Structure 1
Amino acid sequence: FKVRDVESININIDFEGLNYFKARRNALGPSSLQGEEPYKKVTIDWREDQLRGKMKLKGLGPDHRDHPTKWSFAISLKGDDSFLGMNRFSIHHPKTRDYQGECLYSKILIDNGDLAARCEFIEVSINGESIGVMTATERVSKNLLEMQGRKEGNIFRPSYEDMWKDLGRAAQFKRSIKNPAASKSFQLHTEAHALNRLLTPLEVYGSGKLSESDELTKQYSVAIGLWEGMLSGHLRPSDIFDIESTARIIAATFAVGNFHSLQTHNIKLYFNPLTYKFEILPTDAVFGRSPSPRYLPPNGLGYIWGILVSDRELYRELLEQINLLVQRHAAEGSPFGADFSIIESQYLDVLRPEFPFIVPHNTETFGRRFDTHLKALTSNTFFLDYAPLDHTTVFAAHPDFDLGNPVFASFYNTPEGIVIRVINRYSFPMKVDGYELEYFDSTEVLRKSFEMSDIEVPATMHGIGESGSRVAGEVSISVPTVSGIERLKLLLSSEDNSRSYSANVSAYPAPVKTHVLSPSDLGEILETHQFFKLNTTSKVLTIPSGKWRITTFIKPPPGYGLIVEAGAELLFDANAGFLLRGPIRVLGSPQNSVTFSGYGGAKWRGISLINSNYWSHGQRSSLKNTVISGTRNAAYGPWEITGGVTFYKSDVDIISSTISGTEAEDALNIVHSDFTLVDAMISDTRSDAFDGDFSVGRIVNSTFARVGGDAIDFSGSEIDVEDSKFFTVADKAVSVGEQSSLTGRQLRIVDVGTGIVSKDGSQTRVDGVTFGKTQHYEVMAYSKKPQYGPAMLFVDNALADQKIRSIAQKKSTLRLNGETTPTQKLNVDALYDGYMAK
């Protein structure tokens, strides 16, 4: 982009709201912002639109408000309104995040396929008065996930509501300590505990919406159980984190030379509902300029590093990713590619008219950073050099200091009763004296108190356990089951009884000891299904020709592939299926196909491949002359996805094969993968036949028939469709959405609800299509999700048994046989509440 292309917005706010912000900013002075600030209504003029929303002050430190006009604000837009595809974003002075550094870091991560807050530089005015260039950064939302190719899922953060209050109280108390050594010791001690976010519970964004979704509620409990299981030492980080993404983000962050974005209180954690693993979402990024990285902190903020890098598998991948960056730097002059300096110069073109003294980053610093630290990284001593300091001074020396909330307490239910978990925040033991309970008993709220003795919550010291677990003073207390709990409060005291405390106890999922998708034991697979052949050298399970019954849901270890030989007939029990983290090769032939179906007509749990590209180092899967019938969606325990046959980050070729009779939401779901579908048929589906998300692929000479939803439906994908047929489709034959690109040639579409739809920023071009018996419109272009923008659809050489009906929403473009369809207002919500409803 160039300077003239920078977006401009004008924020309209009433007199009362603006005066509130001014008074609040002046009252804060150099103090940090603590707690939630109130929103004020605003409208935003952008391009030809006026966006509705609300705005509040943001930013903890005074650097967010020390400029006369460039204060930091959080903005949330109303309804479907969005700005540059963002419905929640913040604006702040570019200097608060190293000017161009924040946007460079964001672009690096997103280009790698990892999660990051999108970042733009924009011109901002408030009530018509310019405040100059500001950084606009996306805030956490469902929209952030969707725009970056992720399924809707929970996003968490370690709670830090108390952190800044604790640090503020400690700083104020420290000023009353006259002895410099004691003052310094107190400061380090309180900082270490206040900043140790691994002692705190995870918070989920949008917690109020959990009750609206059974799936999100289920995933919430699983995610926290896994997180707590890791912190308790039952699970490894590689069990619960996406290894490749986590390592790639750490490697990129090391290369840019500043770990501020990955401090524990700055990270967000997305729980991917397909993989049931966390992906890191870094925030508050800064670029480093010296060879030694900054913000590898000597206090509680660094504890997440001790845990992650203690995992051998994750650390091995980290070294692989760093080596890739080193090689790219040697070949292209930057670990982030030859165009790094070009991109940075474009950002500087925007910033320098207002900030003329900003200098670009010296790409030679990347090389010096690698040279300085690569040896320590290879020997796994780099992070050890930044181990948290050991502080042993205890608060008993400062009896007047207000500890705030000294413990985090939670409870969960078991068949035997209630378990209360108590985690000590400080480095001296506490005593549990009892608890108070309020509960609803059919007609009234009852209150009871219970005394306890001889229960001690051990001190929490510092560091990381040998297994990579959190080091915490923790105790679990079992109490009788009570239904209808309204409030539970724990009563505590210091060891010498000089102080008494109370802590509210909240419901919180229990730690788990195994991942729900942990691999099946190979010995058990072979014992239960003795027809399998195992080659441990090549990590392949083989099913020979013959008729075989599959009775369990089989999950081989990551990296193990599956070969099914020609002539195999597999019959699955109702809850049986395959979950593979390696490639599948089905070797059917025209004379000797391979079949997958339900035993006794059962609807079975299908075939799912997850992250095969990573575990198999890019080996493609292939299904040849394969017949798959009678699936329902894949599920195992709480894990449940929409596809009967699913490929996630698992490239595949499906040739001369059929999928039929599924009850799943998607008969075939391909996500973040490269695929070919040749001479294939998908038929007799309850809902969609083929749903492709964020993928690249070709469909050739294939047929989609008797489909209960959409025949082919794409989001964020690049697709080529040729010589293919669509018969008896209840909804859309071809649906192209979420900034997809589709090219079609020689299509036949007969007896469908709607023919071809291009929507939400997509570009669709079809040359040669025959329509017949279309119920509604043959071609449509519109925007269902305004954040993606208008759509384009160009259809040439189209024929039909009647007049071809077309409709184009305002701002979208539709050209049919060389003629442009006039645009009109279109109530898209009514469409999807009506005949396009599912």
Structure 2
Amino acid sequence: MKYQVKITVTLLIIATIALISSCFRNYKHSKERNIYSSLETLSKDKKHFVADSNSKYIFKGGNFQSGIQKRSGNFSVITTPKNAFSLSIGLPRIKQDSYVEASVWRKGEFGHLVAVTSGPTAYISTSDAVEIDNNGWSKLSLQFYMPPVKDFQELKVYVWNSGKDTVFFDDISINVIDKKIFPAFREDALHIEMDTSEYLKLMDVRKRAFNAGILQTTDDDWIKGMVFADGGLMKSSLRLKGDWLDHLHGNKWSFRVKLKKGNSWNNMRVFSVQNPMARLGVNEWFFHKFLITEGLLTTRYGFIPTTINGDNLGLYAWEEHFTKQLVESQGRREGPIVRFQEDALWDTRVFDKNGKRNNLKTPNFETSIIKPFSGSKIIADSILFKQFLIAQNLMYQYKHRLMPASKIFNIEMLAKYFASADVFLTRHSTKMHNQRFYYNPVLCKLEPIAYDCYSDIERYIKSTNPIYGYLHYDAIGSLDDEYLMARELFNDTLFTPLYINYLKKYSSEKFLDSLFDHYKNQIYFYDSLISIEFPEQYFFQYEILENATNIRNELPAFKKQFVTMKKENRHWKNTSKTIINYDTILKDFMAPNLITCYRQKDYGDSSYYKIYNFYPDDIIVLGLGTGDKRIKEVIVPVPIVKGFADGKSGTVMFSAENANLNYLFFSIKDHNEIMTTEIMLWPEPTAEQTPLQQMLTAYPFPDTNIIEKVENDKVWIKPGNVTMSNTVIIPMGYRVYFHEGTTLNMINKAGFISYSPININGTKQKPVTITSTDFSANGFTVLQANGMSQIKNTSFNNLNTLNYRGWTLTGAVNFYESDVTIINTTFYRNQCEDALNIIRSNFTLENSVFDYIQSDAFDSDFSEGKVLETKFTNIGNDAIDFSGSQIVIKDVEINNANDKGISGGENSTLLVENTTIKAAGIGLASKDLSIIEVNNCIITDCNYGIVLLQKKPEYGPSTLILNNTLLRNSKTRSLIELGSIVIENSDTIRGTQKNCAELFY
């Protein structure tokens, strides 16, 4: 590894130091034992060096004191291949939970600093220099922790010459710190409190983790606690988090925090707090910031001082968990977040009786269940559950390499994910057990969620393969399946060019210089802040720039290889290992995570269950239970499931009469212990095509029944009266044209889906009509079209929405990531939730009409646009509903909206001018941190004139600004929740009402 390089812009460092020094008080350690020797003083027998700090401590090797080389004073110690070991010291009673810091200066190559303990840490060695002085002396340093497995442990420290030449050592130091005192910051802190009994429960979990060598949590490990932040006290559930034990060192533990209903912090309901160095300090924060600017999903991330039960524990990193707030805060609709369960993998890393990783070979890849986060919520919601089943099959296709990347993923996001991991040295996040995916319910595809990025950067800095997708050989029985999953992505000729483009973009000097410059002040601040507690912290700018250079150098050869293989229609075979020598004798505790059980089907009150046994021994099914403590239903006859052998699992299917059975009870054959494993309350994944994949197979392009011709990149829809009885899908790369006067009648649940922009240019004399005479049309949908769509003089009548085997949208007309201009267009008598739904797009809606709308007329999320000179009449729900959007509304008329005339929610900004709202349930509603400015408008004859409230706890109060606006004849003029404000003609009205959302939702 390169020596630690910090950014050295003098003025910024001076400014940062001044700022940091005002943020904390003092930082020291308590009960330190400092042992230091300059190697100047020898014992009486001349065989030992006497410590300068305390003469009772002595180091071996005094008879090799040398004046040939010295860093300080007059002497050092000389080592040779024949006398390779020196400066040995034994410390017999080191308390558990102590921190040890050892260092020595070296002159010469191949010299090591070594520490040996009697606990699980066992043997630690380093030869990497952390500092080099002007005379060529290199400083070696070790920092490690004495785990709480014994009250006291023995420690031995020494130096070792592992080479063939002479090496000198000087100035050895050992500091033993019983307990750290952390810096006390003046910034607002996060305070976590818990009862003593709950704290002791965490202590037991922690002790269990240190005995096992890793932290493996269960549902029983959650405790009750309180969180105090931003002036509010919030009930919460807490547990320890993190896989490796660095999350549990000393008293600075990492926590997962779930806030109780109605509470949020930093717009999050569930989050983690952890040691900043678990993710290498400021580097993780920087990368998450970069990802968000690139539109890639990631967890929100930051730093905050933290106390536990009143004890200051210094600076923590906070990180969002995988909930709907993650995707909604980044401009996506709620959808399942899924992962491969990794419990069986971690079982192979549990300590054996000798305190070593057991490293047993188990079929943990085969048994890696596809699980959703917030599983109970998803199972209870019929829409989310259908979405999860689709997501599960997509994950199965990815896992077993059954479909190309472009059929499974949003490949634009996937290309960014892998390219950024290459450039920024974050491939750790792409490992199978770290991968998290969001199912995008609009696209019917998966998107990656990047997290856990900086954990083992060393191996990637030293990598000789800076471009992950640049494959150099066929993997024929040489790689495990988990690696082949990612390799297979690069066989997709749609995905790989995008990956190459983003490699080029992210690795360019200009791009990186601009990126670093944009965040430099914040990087300096956090780098210096974290360094107070963790001096080893530094920012990897040098390493990233050097790696980017390597990528730029290798990119031409990679591109050439791709072009050649595409031209020759060659693919990497990526054949997995056919025979794997799995261990046939495993520990009993491994069985629960090698048994999978799915609830396949329900028939009335009965359910069918399917078990897969990946454990090598047969198991006996004892019964099922609602919890993991007691069997509720015994299965007769008793199923016996054969053990895993020859690469195949034993399988059994059976039925049970009771509902709500969540746990399988079993025993290993010829063993007495009763074990349990969680039942997956859904059918097993299959290779079945997703709804979109089925459509692409069933309805190939071009469909000559409605397509007149395809000329280069232009697609023409047939003119005249056209009946469309099956779905039409137009791929990307075209522009779709409708002739003036065309009537397209979609019947028999036909849908229109285009991945290319559309031009519908009707005239007033010859408008275009998109209709459904049997009211069954599966919507008119434009997805990720690269270009502006234009719709003029068009009528959308009687349309339903896309609803095909679990792929369900909300709009009769939908635009997703597809900019559009709509002029002189009518939306009439839709048969679904929204007449027009626009998501993540720029739009203009002008001089149009919405009439006799079943529910919402115009619903838009995460968009920017204008609504001009448009009329809304006879609306079943909301006339205009925006979330997370920035909108201008001018010269609009709304008459008879059963719910809201205009609604802005989830941090929207609306400007409303010269608009009339009449006979609405609520004239104007501002929700969840939204700001609405209203100028020269009339709101009349509504149940509520204006309403301001907080609907979702992760948001906050709202603002409404009224200028020269008339509110009249409303049953209730205004309803303003506590915290929200209305500024009416410069007068401020502060809300006093509580829990207003309960009146409407």
| TM-score class, shorter | 0.7 to 0.9
Indicate whether 1:279 and 2:467 are aligned. no
Structure 1 residues 172 and 285: CA distance shift in structure 2, 3 A: farther
Unaligned runs of 5+ in 2: 1-15, 24-185, 469-477, 566-570, 626-631
Task: Trace 1:289-300 onto structure 2 (pairs within 5 A).
Answer: 291-292=461-462
Cα 1:535–1:174 shift into 2, 3 Å: farther
Structure 1 residue runs of 5 or longer lacking an equivalent are: 176-182, 461-472, 495-500, 613-617, 834-838
Over 3 Å counting, the alpha-carbon distance change for 1:534 and 1:782 in structure 2 is: same
Distance 2:442 2:610 in 1: 31
- Report the CA distance shift for 1:481/1:233 in structure 2 as closer, same or farther (over 3 A): farther
Cα gap change, 1:110/1:490 in structure 2, threshold over 3 Å: closer, same or farther? same
* Matched AA of 1:147: S
Letter matched to residue 944 of structure 2: H
Check the 8 A contact 1:708/1:730 in 2, yes or no: yes
- The separation in 2 between residues aligned to 1:245 and 1:648, in whole angstroms, is 15
Q: Is the 8 A contact 1:155 1:268 kept in 2?
A: yes
Confirm or deny: 8 A CA contact 1:522 1:556 kept in the other structure. Answer: no
Q: Is residue 344–residue 593 contact of structure 2 (8 Å, CA) maintained in 1?
A: no
Q: Tell me if 1:61 matches 2:244.
A: yes
Q: What displacement does 1:83 show? A: 0.6
Q: For 1:818, which of 969, 986, 993 is the aligned residue?
A: 986
Question: Which stretch of structure 1 is more off in the superposition, 234-243 or 482-491?
Answer: 482-491
Are the counterparts in 2 of residues 519 and 557 from structure 1 also a CA contact under 8 Å? no
Q: Which whole-Å deviations, capped at 9, do the CAs of 1:400-448 have from their partners, x for residues lacking one?
A: 9987469655568699x999685858xxxx7999999999xxx996612
Report the 3-state secondary structure (helix = DSSP H, G, I; strand = E; otherwise coil) of the residue aligned with 2:350.
Answer: helix
Could you tell me whether the CA contact under 8 Å between 1:521 and 1:556 is conserved in 2? Answer: no
Structure 2 residue aligned with 1:359, among 529, 538, 542? 538
Using the alignment, how far apart are the partners of 1:13 and 1:692 within structure 2? Answer: 43
Residues 1:155 and 2:337 are matched in the alignment:
yes
589, 593, 600: which one aligns with 2:763: 589
Residue 661 (1) aligns with residue 836 (2): no
Q: Which moved more, 1:221-230 or 1:796-805?
A: 796-805
Determine if the alignment matches structure 1 residue 49 to structure 2 residue 232: yes
Give, in whole Å, the separation in 2 of the partners of 1:491 and 1:14. 37
1:567 equivalent to 2:741? Answer: yes
Contact 2:855 2:878 in 1 (8 A): yes
Q: Distance in 2 between matches of 1:728 and 1:25?
A: 61
Whole-angstrom CA distance in 2 between matches of 1:336 and 1:377: 25
Of residues 79-88 and 543-552 in structure 1, the stretch that sits farther from structure 2 once superposed is 543-552
Q: How does 1:436-585 map to 2 (within 5 A)?
A: 447-448=636-637, 459-460=646-647, 473=648, 508-518=683-693, 530-535=705-710, 537-538=712-713, 540-585=714-759
Which residue does the alignment assign to 2:919?
Answer: 751
Q: Which has the larger radius of gyration?
A: 2
Question: 1:135: Cα distance to partner?
Answer: 0.3
Q: Does 1:12 align with 2:193?
A: yes
The 1:121/1:488 distance shift into structure 2, 3 A limit, reads closer
- Equivalent residue for 1:253? 421
Alpha-carbon distance in structure 2 between the residues aligned to 1:807 and 1:406: 53
1:624 to 792, 814, 817: 792
Q: Are the counterparts in 1 of residues 701 and 730 from structure 2 also a CA contact under 8 Å?
A: no
Answering whether residue 958 of structure 2 is matched by residue 791 of structure 1, we say yes
Q: 1:105 to 1:394 in 2, by over 3 A?
A: same
Shift of 1:38: 1.6
Alignment partner, residue 122 of structure 2: none
Q: Deviations over 1:316-335 (max 9, x none)?
A: 32112212213xx3324448
Instruction: Report sequence identity in percent.
Output: 23
Distance apart, 1:811 and its partner CA:
1.9
The structure 2 residue matched to 1:611, chosen from 775, 779, 784, is: 784
Pair 1:114 & 2:281 matched: no
Q: How many Å separate the matches in 2 of 1:38 and 1:491?
A: 24
Distance 2:520 2:836 in 1: 42
Between the aligned partners of 2:676 and 2:897, the Cα distance in structure 1 is 62
Deviation string, structure 1 residues 573-611 (Cα, Å, up to 9, x no partner) = 141221222222112112211001112x53422201222
State whether residues 282 and 538 of structure 2, in contact with CA within 8 Å, keep that contact through their aligned partners in structure 1: no
Supply the distance in 1 between the matched residues of 2:611 and 2:734 (Cα, whole angstroms).
39
Question: What corresponds to 2:326 in structure 1?
Answer: 144
CA pair 689-789 structure 1, distance change in 2 beyond 3 A: same
- Where 1:710 maps in the other structure, the secondary structure is coil
Amino acid at match of 1:395: D
TM (norm. structure 1) is: 0.83
1:322 to 471, 489, 503: 503
In the alignment, the residues of structure 2 paired with residue 492 and residue 236 of structure 1 have an alpha-carbon distance, to the nearest angstrom, of: 40
Match of 2:877 among 709, 712, 724: 709
Q: CA deviation at 1:746?
A: 1.5
Q: Tell me, in whole angstroms, the C-alpha distance in 1 between the residues paired with 2:586 and 2:238.
A: 42
**Cα shift at 1:254:** 1.3
1:220-266: per-residue Cα shift (whole Å, max 9, x none)?
Answer: 22222233244444422321111111111111111110211221111
Distance 2:207 2:324 in 1: 34
Alignment of 1:119-518 (within 5 A): 119-168=301-350, 171-172=352-353, 187=359, 190=360, 193=362, 196-197=364-365, 199-286=367-454, 288=457, 291-292=461-462, 302-326=483-507, 329-334=508-513, 336=515, 338-356=517-535, 358-363=537-542, 364-371=545-552, 373-374=554-555, 377-378=558-559, 379=561, 395=583, 404=591, 447-448=636-637, 459-460=646-647, 473=648, 508-518=683-693
Q: Is the 8 A contact 2:719 2:739 kept in 1?
A: yes
Mark the CA change 1:309 to 1:210 in structure 2 (over 3 Å): closer, same or farther: same
1:808 corresponds to 2:989: no
- CA deviation digits over 1:515-547, x for unaligned, max 9? 321375799678976342231631x43223311
Shift of the 660–161 alpha-carbon distance from structure 1 to 2, 3 Å rule, reads same
Structure 1's 354 and 525: CA in aligned 2 closer, same or farther, altered over 3 A?
A: closer
Q: Is contact 2:871–2:894 with CA below 8 Å preserved after alignment?
A: yes
The answer to whether the 8 Å contact 2:949/2:997 transfers is no
| 1:193-221 Cα distance to aligned partner (Å, 9 max, x none) | 46x54642211222222342111222222
Measured in 2, the distance between the counterparts of 1:400 and 1:431 equals 11
- Secondary structure of 2:483's counterpart equals helix
Q: Distance in 1 between matches of 2:875 and 2:247?
A: 55
**Is the alpha carbon distance of 1:372 and 1:389 closer, same or farther for their aligned partners in structure 2, counting shifts above 3 Å?**
farther
Distance 1:134 1:771 in 2: 49
What one-letter code is carried by the residue in structure 1 that aligns with 2:269? N
Alignment-mate amino acid for residue 602 of structure 1: F
Provide the residue aligned with 1:470 in structure 2. none
TM-superposed CA distance for 1:16, in Å, is 2.0
Q: Which amino acid aligns with 2:753?
A: L
Quickly say closer, same or farther: Cα 1:564–1:130, change in 2 above 3 A: same
Q: RMSD value over aligned CA atoms?
A: 4.0
Structure 2 CA distance for aligned equivalents of residues 502 and 20 of structure 1: 22
In the TM superposition, 1:728-747 aligns within 5 A as: 728-747=896-915
Deviations 1:365-415 (A, max 9, x none): 35334246535654469x99x99999965536x799987469655568699
The answer as to whether partners of 1:699 and 1:721 remain within 8 angstroms in 2 is: yes
Partner of 1:498: none
Following the alignment from structure 1 to structure 2, what is the Cα–Cα distance between the partners of residues 762 and 141?
22
